[in-house]
């Protein structure tokens, strides 16, 4: 996960076709602003003072049937203007006629929220800001460096890997008919190991027309909700989303670079994290976008990957996650990186959203090391974190600064999460009619008991996709 996430970069080597990064540094996202305004973190009782949100912005949902006069009175009471009405196709499909209003107000956010408390208001909340928290012949797999996909029964081996190579040995290597949504930064769809793995929309050709009627014109590889355009890859700043995508589905068996949990897959990009993070408003639209695509086109789409967090509780975002659950989409989420104390935070005591929502389709993922220990940065929770997965020193795809194909080693619960998402996709490839609940059960029931996770997560164990 990318809030204060440790991202270790090693192995940098330029070549004509790809580069591998050789360095040791930490990447930190500038959270000082998402627009020209300063990010607010007003302290208030019963709220985490470290939570960041957009200043002077409020997300408000009025109860159905509220008159326009009543709405205007409340909006005028905080001297606000309506910046945007969020009423996605998915909301409409769920018979939501009100949507959510994004208001701009000169008042402090929490003051404005308190003034919006009324029988006519379902909820009013800050617009929170989130941060990123068969045998393959691929170079780093063959060398044993891609430990996250290894098992203990084949060579190269690592008993603490996801056991994906044992599934491959049984000819379970994934399928391009399986789609997953990566809700994150953008992904480099021209990367040597991702070309052909990223969705090219067959329902909306690039002609300036919204051919499939989903509200997004020419969403060729997905949509960029941060910039509100169809350019889902904006350069080397999209390294996190590219890295996550490679862990899920870097092309296998091509003799190049790394291999993902799935050799074959179709990844849909729903970019909402920009250089300075992403907002609740855009996260809602990204989640609903994926839900709508599955529902509209009947896609085999078992899961979305959500390697991000940092905001407080948002009913608006939870509702979007619940809509995804109704559409049988798992929401795989990073448990969080607790900071620099080397312990990680207990999510049972201090929730980390979105991983800590109680929605039935969430799988919350902690990180483990290549020797089976809980990663020092990883959050945990005996009742709120579900499973552990490889997350320390994970090599995957990234864009080079010159926009060539590159590889780098990153660490974080952001890196653990896509191993689980990849597992969900691998299971769906062999079990295409399985429900989200059935896939979640298969993932949790197959967890391998691990001493470092005992009492630290629901399963007490680590990911094992060897039987998928």
List residues with catalytic annotation. Answer: 184, 240, 414
Residue bearing tokens 């060579």? 155
Structure tokens given for 2: 């990318």
Q: Are 30 and 105 in contact (CB under 8 A)?
A: no
Residue 72 sits at φ, ψ, to 5 deg, of: -60, -40
Pair of tokens at residue 249 = 């589905």
**Which residue is it, tokens 């579900």?**
386
**For the chain, counts of helices (H) and of strands (E):** 10, 18
Q: What strands lie across the sheet with 12-14, from one edge to the other?
A: 12-14, 18-21, 405-410, 394-399
Burial of 30: CB neighbours in 10 Å, binned 0-12, 13-18, 19+: exposed
CA geometry: angle at 412 spanning 409 and 414, to 5°? 100
DSSP notation for 192-203: TTTTTTB---SS
Sign of dihedral through CA atoms 440, 445, 450, 451?
positive
Structural contact between residues 389 and 424, judged by C-beta atoms closer than 8 angstroms: no
Rounded to whole angstroms, how far apart are CA atoms 432 and 141? 28
């Amino acid at each position: 996960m990318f809030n204060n996430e440790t991202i270790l970069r090693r192995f940098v080597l330029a070549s004509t076709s790809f580069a591998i990064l050789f360095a040791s540094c930490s990447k930190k996202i500038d959270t000082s602003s998402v627009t020209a305004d300063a990010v607010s973190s007003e302290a208030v009782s019963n709220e985490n003072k470290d939570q960041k949100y957009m200043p002077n912005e409020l997300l408000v949902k009025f109860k159905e049937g509220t008159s326009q006069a009543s709405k205007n009175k409340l909006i005028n009471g905080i001297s606000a203007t309506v910046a945007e009405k969020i009423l996605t196709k998915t909301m409409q499909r769920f018979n939501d006629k009100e949507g959510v209003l994004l208001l701009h107000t000169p008042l402090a956010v929490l003051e404005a929220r308190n003034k919006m408390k009324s029988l006519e208001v379902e909820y009013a909340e800050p617009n929170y800001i989130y941060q990123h928290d068969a045998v393959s012949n691929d170079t780093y797999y063959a060398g044993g460096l891609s430990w996250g996909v290894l098992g203990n029964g084949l060579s190269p081996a690592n008993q603490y890997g996801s056991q994906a190579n044992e599934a491959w040995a049984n000819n379970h290597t994934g399928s391009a008919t399986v789609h997953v949504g990566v809700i994150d930064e953008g992904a480099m769809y021209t990367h040597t190991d991702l070309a052909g793995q990223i969705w090219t929309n067959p329902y909306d050709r690039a002609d300036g027309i919204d051919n499939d009627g989903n509200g997004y014109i020419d969403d060729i590889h997905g949509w960029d909700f941060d910039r509100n355009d169809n350019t889902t890859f904006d350069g080397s700043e999209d390294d996190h989303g590219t890295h996550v995508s490679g862990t899920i589905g870097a092309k296998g068996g091509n003799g190049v670079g790394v291999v993902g949990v799935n050799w074959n897959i179709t990844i849909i990009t729903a970019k909402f994290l920009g250089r300075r993070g992403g907002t609740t408003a855009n996260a809602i639209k990204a989640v609903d976008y994926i839900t709508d695509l599955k529902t509209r086109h009947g896609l085999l789409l078992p899961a979305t990957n959500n390697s991000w967090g940092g905001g407080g509780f948002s009913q608006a975002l939870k509702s979007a996650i619940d809509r995804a659950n109704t559409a049988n989409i798992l929401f795989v989420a990073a448990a969080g990186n607790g900071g620099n104390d080397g312990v990680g935070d207990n999510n049972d005591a201090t929730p980390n959203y979105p991983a800590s929502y109680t929605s039935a389709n969430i799988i919350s993922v902690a990180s483990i090391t290549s020797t089976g220990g809980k990663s020092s940065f990883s959050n945990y929770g005996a009742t709120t974190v579900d499973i552990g997965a490889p997350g320390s020193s994970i090599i995957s795809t990234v864009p080079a600064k010159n926009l060539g194909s590159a590889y780098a080693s990153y660490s974080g619960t952001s890196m653990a999460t896509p191993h689980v998402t990849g597992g969900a996709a691998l299971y769906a490839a062999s079990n295409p009619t399985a429900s989200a609940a059935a896939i979640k059960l298969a993932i949790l029931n197959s967890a391998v008991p691990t001493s470092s996770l005992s009492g630290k997560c629901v399963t007490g164990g680590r990911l094992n996709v060897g039987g998928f």
